[in-house]
Structure 1
Amino acid sequence: MTFIPESITEEGSTAVLAINVGQPKPLPGQKHEVLSGIVKHPVSAPLFLSFTGMTGDAQADLVHHGGPDKAVCVYDHSRYSSIEQLINRKLEWGAFGENLTVTGCTEEEVRIGDVFELGDAQVQVSQPRQPCFKLGVRYDYKELPVYFQESGHTGFYFRVLQEGEVGPASRFRRIRTDAVCMTILEANRIMHQGKQDVEGIRALLAIPALSDSWRQTLLQRLSKLESN
């Protein structure tokens, strides 16, 4: 793999606006209790980032959320304004349950496998976020997960390569990328709209950094397509 040198990454082009954590709580308006960690709040002091996530943060559904491949959820603040217009309300940091609210990391800019320095830690992009119904429940706008999916503006996950302390003022910069690897936006297209795109699926599967859960889903899909 041919990596783009760190020197091409413009200093200051990425930044952390907020680090957000939260504990599982019942979602309102449900017939049966549904716990979710989607409600997160910014922290003012540094905390420790381990291979499975940040101190003080937790997920309720450990089948679909959390784990080493999804240790940190990231969302670019530039997406907030269009969603504020959609749901007609002002949003606060961590509005979509992300651990990091950032700038300079849109789905067009970030590639699976990109490595970032985050405070004392190093993290790697593992997969796009897959929006679930809890986003719609939180804002009483059931079409919101569909908007995320169709726009491709889902955010993404980091796995942790090196544990360390992180905080709101932490240095945050991309230190490694590969122009051959796929952007988050293109990966979303293949997963959600290009389900018959065999070549696209193969290209996505060829990325070593792709998370295991996405890899298994795509392998099953490819097997069905090739058997028809």
Structure 2
Amino acid sequence: MSALLIIGLQTGLPRTLGMPDAVEPMDREWTTGFFKEGVAGVRQVTALGIEGDGQADLINHGGQDKAINVYPSEHYPTWMEELGLDLQPGAFGENFTTTGMTESEVCVGDVFQCGALRLQVSQPRQPCWKLARRWRIKDLAAQVERTGRTGWYFRVLSGGPVRAGMKLERVERLAPAWSISAANEVMHHRKTDAAAALALAGCPGLSASWHVSLTNRAASGLQKTRARLNDPLGS
């Protein structure tokens, strides 16, 4: 049975930073929940996340399918070497900094449990511009996407207490073919593969937003294929 060890637990509420009239884009005013601080004690987890945590952009972040942001500590040494930064747990805005498994070993739909707490992997994490803004590296989100070192999200099936040092045991695997790495590959690098998009869209446990995006992509791809078959000369 595989497990994840939570070596860092981080939470943080949205805050506004920067200056409205700044000339440099990186210095302009922005509101973000990206900055997470380490928690030494126990926090309660509910369907919408961890006590004391919040997101500024509730359209693209948070919610039941993205209740907890997870990032493997195994990636930190590589990032520190590549970026020349001293990165500590929470540097990627994650709630759980873990060790034990990475994107190639964790699958969409996997269920992890410790006591009353029961969590399910819903999708890879898709970093946004705020990651780049935090570290003032314009292409950092693109680097994360390109390398596949994205981390993932948990939805909460059953709430309970959480703390750093807790071990989450994997107790169920619904889709062994759909590792986080495989899902990233389809979403970001095989954008014209309608069959793969449709297959991933049907993965049990996949987030609603990814299901919709992939279903739409597959439908669009099939329409284009039919159009080519009906008009092979493109006239």
Q: TM-score, normalised by structure 1?
A: 0.91
Contact 2:110-2:175 at 8 Å conserved across structures: no
Q: Which residue of 1 aligns with 2:142?
A: 146
1:198 equivalent in alignment to 2:194: yes
5+ long unaligned stretches in structure 1: 1-8
Name the count of aligned residue pairs.
218
User: Which has the greater radius of gyration?
Assistant: 2
* Equivalent position amino acid for 2:6 in 1: V
Contact 1:112-1:207 at 8 Å conserved across structures: yes
Contact 1:70-1:126 at 8 Å conserved across structures: yes
Q: Which residue of 2 aligns with 1:135?
A: 131
* Equivalent position amino acid for 1:222 in 2: A
Identity %: 39
Correspondence list, 1:36-47, <5 A? 36-47=32-43
Q: Tell me the alpha carbon deviations over residues 112-170 of structure 1, each in whole angstroms, 9 at most, x when there is no partner.
A: 00000145310000000001111111111111111110111100000000011111132
CA distance in 2, matches of 1:119, 1:39: 28
Q: Deviation above 3 Å: which 4+ runs of structure 1? A: 27-32, 178-181
Q: CA deviation at 1:96?
A: 0.5
* Equivalent position amino acid for 1:80 in 2: Y
CA distance in 2, matches of 1:32, 1:179: 43
Q: TM-score, normalised by structure 2?
A: 0.88
* Equivalent position amino acid for 1:60 in 2: A
Q: Which residue of 2 aligns with 1:67?
A: 63
CA distance in 2, matches of 1:179, 1:30: 41
SS in 1 for 2:86: coil
SS in 2 for 1:14: strand
CA distance in 2, matches of 1:109, 1:123: 16
SS in 1 for 2:130: helix
CA distance in 2, matches of 1:34, 1:119: 39
Q: CA deviation at 1:220?
A: 1.3
Q: CA deviation at 1:179?
A: 5.3
1:21 equivalent in alignment to 2:17: no
CA distance in 1, matches of 2:161, 2:93: 21
Q: CA deviation at 1:27?
A: 4.3
1:108 equivalent in alignment to 2:92: no
CA distance in 1, matches of 2:166, 2:215: 37
26 and 86 in structure 1: CA distance in 2 versus 1, 3 angstrom threshold: farther
Q: Which residue of 2 aligns with 1:208?
A: 204
Contact 1:39-1:94 at 8 Å conserved across structures: yes
Q: CA deviation at 1:187?
A: 0.4
Correspondence list, 1:152-163, <5 A? 152-163=148-159
Contact 1:124-1:158 at 8 Å conserved across structures: yes
